[in-house]
Structure 1
């Protein structure tokens, strides 16, 4: 009797982590004493940021929820491989209910998929400074990637203590968002499941390749692979997710910029240098960012921050916080671009 594949069997996760770790590399050279100092400073910075975020936003994070972990590049890659298992779980269930691969086909396929995911994780693992992982049970966890933080602070010649607290402010805001708004995790899970329900296994490859070909023939440029390969129904779901992610990222940027001047002396210099860095470094880096949708990620920071600032300027932070009352109050992708429409609908 053959059992259906799972997210564990359809992807060689150990191979993905191995590939990703090799691609990401070790990061900058840091002595043991300096490394210990960085780890302790980041932990302290995250702890300090909780109160600063609460005072600025009015959001109260639950105590002892969502641990803060300072990790190296392999640690971030392993954590995200674990998160990917959760993300693709509903899709694997859908695919395996039709005509699941078995035997050698499953083994070879899992190796290939592991290499693809490993390549993505390796590229990202050398760049991400911090991340809230909402898929870690039971309440998520905050990851701060120490070698990447050190690499960037050296690259932009920032004051190390200021830069580390600046990063902590942004990332801790995400931890506060998810722990003060506990329904947010379930909402994201439901959107992932909805996306999986739209997948038709028999059409996935043919239709996906046809959309890529048509897009190239029509001269479409600048979109991500997800944009090109999404069906109309999937685009609706992705638009909702874009609205949520723009809100979360923009809100964190507004908090970082709002709190920063009072506690980080060199915040203006850091922000200026970091904005330049966000544009990508080198041709290959820019191409990969575009294909992986990272250009859209940068737009989420910009557009989401503009939305939050516009609403707060109009109605104040207390009324803005109605956005956290329930999924029905979240802004759509269109409302992110039109804050007045959100105010009219919700408030």
Structure 2
């Protein structure tokens, strides 16, 4: 990962420092639900197999994408839910410019926001299968959450080895994306720096933006449609942000959509050669994503932007599928040349616009 440029470092002003990250980790670990019941043998087998499959997935991913991150294949870290929460809090602290934990007594407000953050991470820790973290304390690293992998493969009633390889293909693609293109982490850091700086808005501006947001949501409810990111927590964020923060948020959303869509494309393209039951896994996994949730879980998903995340998978994959089908993977890889070649928000749903502009 490239170091952040000094201007990006200097603009990190408030968001990360408003959270007691140590307390967030403590609360998250206490609230985290235990994983599925499993014998010690089953847990050990899952850890060993995920470690091995994450190495084996690297070669077909590199061959399909044409992205080469060097001769060495880094080891994945196989973690449980509590370990993932600890890693996530440290990564979020780094991303948002939070202070290094020290001996100073944290503020009451910091503990409140820390408790809220920990509760959110405890909820997320129940479902996340894996994650490439470019901002980890030891540099970029791939995390695979083995209790959740075991839980989902049981729910889907699929072959464990095949499902674990399928998950590894997706997550290893993220590792390859970032390690082959080190500028991606710096680009994210600079966007996050703008997004988390002190906005300095007055009350009148915020009220005006909220009123505009409400009018837009009413129009969408009347059938005029709208951007998939215009509702829920993301839509509310956009409503109160100044223009620089909105642009930074758009950059992060588009980048996330590209990265997830590219990983989904790779999973399906490589899958038939290395995952014998890939068609069954994809069908059952997609059905699980569409399944109706209890009211409380639907509310939490909306507040946390989970549905927007699902949109990233489908919209991003459609974009990558279209471009690769039209021009091939080698020419598609122009997208990794630098920030100026990343898709614009309008181009995600109209990939021909990206082809015309970049290629």
Q: What is the 5 A alignment of 1:59-74?
A: 59-64=67-72, 67-74=75-82
What is the deviation of 1:15? 2.3
Measured in 1, the distance between the counterparts of 2:123 and 2:55 equals: 29
- Per the TM alignment, residue 279 of structure 1 is displaced from its structure 2 partner at its CA by 3.0
How many angstroms apart in 1 are the aligned matches of 2:32 and 2:153?
Answer: 18
2:45 alignment partner in structure 1: 37
Q: Deviations over 1:155-210 (max 9, x none)?
A: 1111111100000000000000000111111111011112234x32464x886677
1:52 Cα shift? Answer: 0.8
The equivalences for 1:8-157 within 5 A come to 10-64=18-72, 67-89=75-97, 107-136=107-136, 139-157=139-157
Unmatched segments (≥5 aa) in structure 2: 1-12, 222-229
Residue deviations 1:23-74 (CA, integer Å, cap 9, x gap): 3211101111111110010011110010010111111123447641000000
Q: By how many angstroms is 1:282 displaced?
A: 2.1
Q: Distance in 2 between matches of 1:107 and 1:69?
A: 33
The residue number in structure 2 matching 1:193 is 193
Are residue 253 (structure 1) and residue 264 (structure 2) matched? Answer: yes
Label 1:65 to 1:8 Cα distance change in 2 as closer, same or farther (>3 A): farther
Q: Partner of 2:131: helix, strand, or coil? A: strand
Deviation at 1:283, TM superposition (A): 2.2
In structure 1, the residue corresponding to 2:68 is in which secondary structure?
coil
Secondary structure at the residue paired with 1:142?
Answer: strand
- Aligned pairs for 1:147-296 within 5 A: 147-197=147-197, 199-201=198-200, 203=202, 215=213, 219=218, 223-230=231-238, 231-233=241-243, 234-279=245-290, 281-296=293-308
SS of equivalent residue, structure 1 residue 278: helix
Counterpart selection for 1:299 from 298, 311, 322: 311
Q: Secondary structure at the match of 1:27?
A: coil
Tell me if structure 2 keeps the 8 A contact 1:16–1:116. yes
Whole-Å separation in 1 of the counterparts to 2:73 and 2:183: 14
Q: Normalized against structure 1, the TM-score is what?
A: 0.87
User: What is the rounded CA distance, in whole Å, between the counterparts of 1:177 and 1:249 in structure 2?
Assistant: 10
Q: For the aligned residues, what is the CA RMSD?
A: 2.6
Structure 1 unmatched ranges of 5 or more: 93-102
Cα 1:270–1:209, aligned 2, differ >3 Å: closer, same or farther? farther
Provide the rounded CA distance (Å) in 1 between the counterparts of 2:179 and 2:66.
13
Task: Return 317-326 or 132-141, whichever deviates more.
Answer: 132-141
Query: Distance between the aligned counterparts of 2:323 and 2:14, measured in 1?
Result: 44
Residue of structure 1 equivalent to 2:335:
323
1:209–1:87: structure 2 CA closer, same or farther, 3 Å change rule?
A: farther
TM-score, reference length from structure 2:
0.85
Secondary structure in 2 matching 1:89 = coil
Q: Is the 8 Å Cα contact of residues 17 and 81 (structure 1) preserved in structure 2?
A: yes
